[in-house]
Amino acid sequence: MNHTLFKIAVSDFHDRYGRMPTVAAYAPGRVEVLGNHTDYNEGFVLSAAINYGTFFLCAPRSDHHCHVTADNFKETATFDAAAPMPAKKHGWANYVKGVHAGLHVHRPAAHGFDALFIGDVPLGAGLSSSAALEMAAGLALVKLYGLDMSPLALARIGQMAEHHFAGVKCGLLDQISSLYGKANALVETDFRSLTVKTVPFGSDACLLLCNTHSKHALVDGEYNQRRAACESATAHFAKKLPHPVKALRDVSWAEWKRHKRGLSKVVANRAAHPIGENERVLEGARRLAVGDMEGFGKLMFESHKSSREYFENSCPELNRIVEAAAHVPGVMGARLTGGGFGGSVVVLVHPRDAETAGAALSSAYTRHFKKPCDTCVVTPSAGAQLVKEAV
């Protein structure tokens, strides 16, 4: 948690609204380490909350107006507390509107609020700055309105905000990772039972993030197309297999190979990715349990190959970094992280080699694309929380 950033937020809130906030919350971004597009297929994911996040500060109003300032952009959006509606202008406000609507789905809010948020999650990097905003806003507004909300219920509200206000049919990975993160641990989630546990990450490896700044816009339909293909494949396997198939989680790799006939090549390939990923996540958890970071890293390389060949949610920028990483001393694994189609690569590397590996990967990227690639170490960190010293 960046306390300097928080102090800036408090000062800017006072400058903008002429008073101090009464509630403040913080939520981190997340890095997906293994398990890509498995969440909405009722599968498994290993992820981590990271040491970059978003602060959301607010105070009640006596009327029904809601004012939200995006401090990073110096923009303010307004909406009616009783009837928040998605809008194209100030698209970032749709995440807050959606969370507010979800919290008050059974009863309109009794009053409005003034709010301001600020964050240091790199935008478009595949680290889910949107979920960080949703969960920070959710925690703060739950406190502001005196509501009773479990973490899982709040995660679902964030998901619905994405579906109905931002237009992205995401799973629950981002919200759960932000809420359930723990220092120096990965979050292992079963997205069928929605059970969450943390897995010690150990000190023999660290996570290096390579942000390509390439296009990462899921609302353009690519994400939704992949999800639709997975649903189509699920219906196919439900008819072919002798056991119940509710989601691709219920299909093994061997079953995919035997029964994919009848699917188009594209749909079969789309299904192959989450099916293989589920098996990699379970194997990855076993590798972590015995401290086999080299074996875990190999699974990350396999995961990226599947993204590139089957799911086609990678891009030349991401592929270049992963290819270069395979030849950098100290690197054990690398893969795209998040929805894909741009953004970032997460690299598993020995801590002693992180600095030199980052420099080597950045240099390789710049030589090839004639533009910079940012690298930084991301640390598995604690999840979303109210900021008690705030007010």
Write out pLDDT tens, residues 161-217: 999 998 887 878 999 999 999 999 999 999 999 999 999 998 889 999 999 988 755
CA distance 176 to 58: 23
Question: In the prediction, which pLDDT does 347 show?
Answer: 98
Distances (CA, A) of 41 to 171, 196, 224, 271, 272: 8, 16, 13, 10, 12
**Does 250 have pLDDT greater than 90?**
yes
CATH classification for the domain delimited by 206-378, as one of 3.90.25.10, 3.90.870.30, 3.20.10.10, 3.30.70.890: 3.30.70.890
pLDDT over threshold 80, residue 124:
no
Residue 126 pLDDT class (50, 70, 90 cuts): confident
Amino acid identity at 135: M
Average per-residue pLDDT for the chain? 94
Rounded average pLDDT over 13-37: 97
Between 3.40.50.920, 3.20.20.120, 3.30.230.10, 3.40.50.300, what CATH number should domain 3-192+381-390 receive? 3.30.230.10
What is the pTM for the complete model shown? 0.89
Q: How confident is the model at residue 219 (pLDDT cuts 50, 70, 90)?
A: very low
Tell me the mean pLDDT in the region 258-287. 97
Cα–Cα dist 180/197, whole Å = 8
- Calculate ∠ Cα 134-84-27, nearest 5°: 10
Q: Choosing from 174, 250, 292, 353, which is the catalytic residue?
A: 174
Question: Cα separation of 67 and 80, whole Å?
Answer: 9
For the chain, domain boundaries: 3-192+381-390, 206-378
Alpha-carbon distance 98 to 111, whole Å?
16
The yes-or-no answer on residue 174 being catalytic is: yes
